[in-house]
Amino acid sequence: MKTLLLSKQIDDYTEQHTSAELPVLARLNRQTNLKRGDAVMLSGHLQGSFLQMVSHMIRPKCILEIGTFTGYSAICLAQGLQHGGRLHTIEIDEELQDMATEYIGEAGLNDKIIQHTGSAIDIIPTLTESFDMVFIDADKSNYERYYDLVFDKVPVGGYILADNVLYDGEVVLPEDQQTKNARAIGSFNRKVKADKRIEHLLVPMRDGIMIVRKISG
Ligand SMILES: C[S@@+](CC[C@H](N)C(=O)[O-])C[C@H]1O[C@@H](n2cnc3c(N)ncnc32)[C@H](O)[C@@H]1O
């Protein structure tokens, strides 16, 4: 109980000592929570700020996001794009498209963010760009496939980030006590750990973010 209380206080303190959420992101966050029962999927202020900061550090020319949802993380990631840079984002649920488009427009990012509607498995192979930053945040059972599909599209020195790699802490449980998604994430984490072409860091922020840096082809 004491730990939970401390954890809530630390979360509040961390948010209070992080730059304020952009007004457009605060509106999108609120509207997503009002309109969607699955709003927990949205990155939120702290993780969004983290993605935005990492993007500013990398200054990518081209970003690929797998899993748009209502567009929150796409707007965050796009803040760090180089002048003339582009972010491609893929979402399978066509009902989400209008809401994401509305807020991407409000954020003034219409010319920078390209929305794709359909399955990422089908769309990724059709993209001809090289991506210096990829954010994997869609169905957990396909993380390993997404990793393989994007790997050759990322140059040496480029980055792949993947969300939910702690899967609500389930990854540390014995496998027979894990859900199917947690097992898929565990398998993804082992695949990353065994890959000699990369360096990687698991950041225990929110639900866990894996950061992969490609060091050889
Ligand atoms: C966790 S949400 C993304 C959250 C978003 N990146 C953010 O931080 O605001 C995952 C999204 O992936 C989408 N998705 C699931 N399977 C997919 C697939 N095969 N191809 C593309 N998108 C998919 C879901 O519909 C959902 O909107």
Q: What is the Å distance from ligand 1's center to 65 Cα?
A: 9
Tell me if 67 CB under 6 Å of ligand 1. yes
| Length reported for the chain | 217
The label of the residue with tokens 């997503």 reads 32
Residue minimizing CA distance to atom 27 of ligand 1: 69
Number of domains in the chain: 1
Please report the pLDDT score of residue 1 as a whole number. Answer: 46
Expressed as residue numbers, the domain containing 88 is 2-214
Write the DSSP assignment of 130-193 as a string of letters.
--SEEEE-S-GGGHHHHHHHHHTTSPTT-EEEEE-TTGGGGGGS-GGGS-HHHHHHHHHHHHHH
Split at pLDDT 50, 70, 90, the class of 33 is: very high
Summarised one tens digit per residue, pLDDT across range 90-137 is 999 999 999 999 999 999 999 999 999 999 999 999 999 999 999 999
Tell me how far CA of residue 84 lies from CA of 109, 113, 132, in angstroms: 11, 11, 14
* Mean pLDDT across 164-171: 97
Over pLDDT 70: what percentage of the chain?
98
The CATH number covering residue 38 comes to 3.40.50.150
Report CA(67)–ligand 1 centroid distance (Å): 3
Residues 6+ apart with CB under 8 A from 143: 136, 162, 184, 185, 188
Which pLDDT band, with edges at 50, 70 and 90, does 2 fall under?
low
pLDDT at 4: 66
Q: pTM (2 decimals)?
A: 0.97
Quick one: DSSP state of residue 81? P
Using an 8 Å Cβ cutoff, are 177 and 169 in contact? no
